[in-house]
């Protein structure tokens, strides 16, 4: 059987050792594995023992890599699995690492999901639908996602949707009331808010316009349409203007008023 004839500390990693068998370098090993297998000069090793040592050392290296990956932020189990797979560790090694991380409570998908939800809720820019989708992409199981989302109350969802809606209303004040309402509803849906929450929020969002505000919006959009269709005349001009402004959400009465005033200028 091969005999350990020399042991040296690695230059760039003092917690790793070089093992020499029969005067030849055989393999490197982590300090924890070194101690566990009671390696020392003069110890004889079978081929099976060498295989076990090297396998355990692979697990140790992968574990250290996973812990380093976790040091930047919390990760889901799926994220860690994908990271280790990308680093080309074999599945048995990955499974062993995940088991050790779970035993040490380094990973907990429910706590990860809860922390993720809290962070997103504090940001106030996403609805539960979007948050749920992002957690799914991170490989979190449905049951943990649903439990975590319980922290995002409907009352808070309505508050966030209202804030986002009012911000959009201010940014798009030159749109018609109907078009503005549609834009806000669509934006909130894209953000992941459910229809039930959007319906309540729309009652609070200040998107409705006074008559004069709607007319000012009509003038802005009407002039844009006029510049586009000014090369036309007569019936064709009026039809194109009406169609364009109606699609913008303006009432036909306002459109007729604009065209009449335009005709008299």
The ranges assigned to domains in the chain are 4-103, 109-149, 154-204, 213-263
Token reading at 18: 């070089």
Residue 262 DSSP one-character state: H
Q: By three-state DSSP, how is residue 208 classified? A: coil
Q: Which parts of 31-126 are beta strand (E)?
A: none
Helix or strand (DSSP H, E) at 18: strand 13-21
User: pLDDT per residue over 123-160, tens digit each?
Assistant: 989 999 999 999 999 999 999 999 999 999 999 999 99
- DSSP string over 214-253: HHHHHHHHHHHHHHHHTT--HHHHHHHHHHHHHHTT--HH
The pLDDT of residue 117: 96
- Asked if the 154-204 domain carries CATH number 3.40.50.150, the reply is no
Token reading at 248: 């913008």
> What whole-number distance in Å separates Cα of residue 106 and Cα of residue 39?
29
Return the CATH class of domain 109-149. Answer: mainly alpha
Ramachandran area for residue 139 (φ above 0: left; ψ -120 to 50: alpha; else beta): left
Count the residues in the chain: 265
> Cβ(99)–Cβ(77) under 8 Å?
no
| Cβ count near 192 (within 10 Å) | 20
* Cβ partners under 8 Å of residue 112, min gap 6: 74, 75, 76, 138, 140, 144
> What whole-number distance in Å separates Cα of residue 160 and Cα of residue 241?
37
Task: List the pLDDT tens digit at each of the 265 positions of the chain.
Answer: 899 999 999 988 888 999 999 999 999 999 999 999 999 999 999 999 999 999 999 999 999 999 999 999 999 999 999 999 999 999 999 999 999 999 999 999 999 999 999 999 999 899 999 999 999 999 999 999 999 999 999 999 999 999 999 999 888 877 878 888 899 999 999 999 999 999 999 988 877 666 577 788 878 888 888 888 888 888 888 888 888 888 777 888 888 888 888 877 7
- Asked if the 213-263 domain carries CATH number 1.20.120, the reply is no
Return the CATH class of domain 4-103. Answer: mainly alpha
Say if 154-204 and 213-263 have the same CATH topology.
Answer: yes
- pTM over 0.75? The answer is no
User: pLDDT per residue over 25-57, tens digit each?
Assistant: 999 999 999 999 999 999 999 999 999 999 999
Note the Cα 111 to chain centre separation in Å. 16
Token reading at 242: 């009406």
Q: By three-state DSSP, how is residue 155 classified? A: helix
């Amino acid at each position: 059987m091969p005999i350990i004839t020399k042991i040296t500390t690695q230059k760039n990693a003092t917690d790793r050792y070089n093992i020499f068998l029969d005067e030849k370098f055989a393999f490197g090993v982590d300090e924890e594995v070194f101690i566990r297998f009671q390696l020392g000069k003069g110890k004889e090793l079978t081929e099976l023992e060498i295989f076990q040592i090297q396998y355990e050392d692979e697990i140790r290296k992968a574990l250290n890599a996973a812990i380093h990956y976790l040091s930047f932020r919390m990760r889901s189990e799926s994220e860690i699995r994908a990271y280790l797979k990308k680093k080309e560790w074999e599945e048995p090694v990955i499974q062993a690492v995940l088991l050790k991380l779970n035993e040490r409570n380094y990973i907990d998908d429910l706590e990860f999901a809860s922390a993720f939800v809290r962070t997103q809720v504090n940001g106030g820019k996403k609805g539960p639908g979007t948050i749920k989708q992002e957690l799914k992409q991170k490989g979190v199981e449905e049951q943990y996602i649903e439990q975590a989302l319980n922290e995002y109350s409907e009352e808070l969802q309505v508050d966030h949707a209202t804030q986002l809606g009012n911000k959009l209303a201010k940014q798009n004040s030159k749109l018609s009331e109907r078009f503005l309402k549609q834009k806000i509803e669509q934006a909130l849906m894209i953000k992941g808010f459910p229809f039930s929450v959007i319906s309540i929020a729309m009652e609070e969002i200040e998107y409705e316009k006074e008559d004069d505000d709607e007319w000012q919006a009509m003038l802005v959009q009407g002039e844009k349409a006029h510049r586009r269709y000014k090369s036309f005349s007569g019936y064709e001009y009026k039809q194109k203007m009406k169609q364009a402004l109606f699609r913008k959400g303006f009432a036909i009465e306002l459109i007729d008023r604009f065209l009449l005033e335009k005709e008299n200028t």
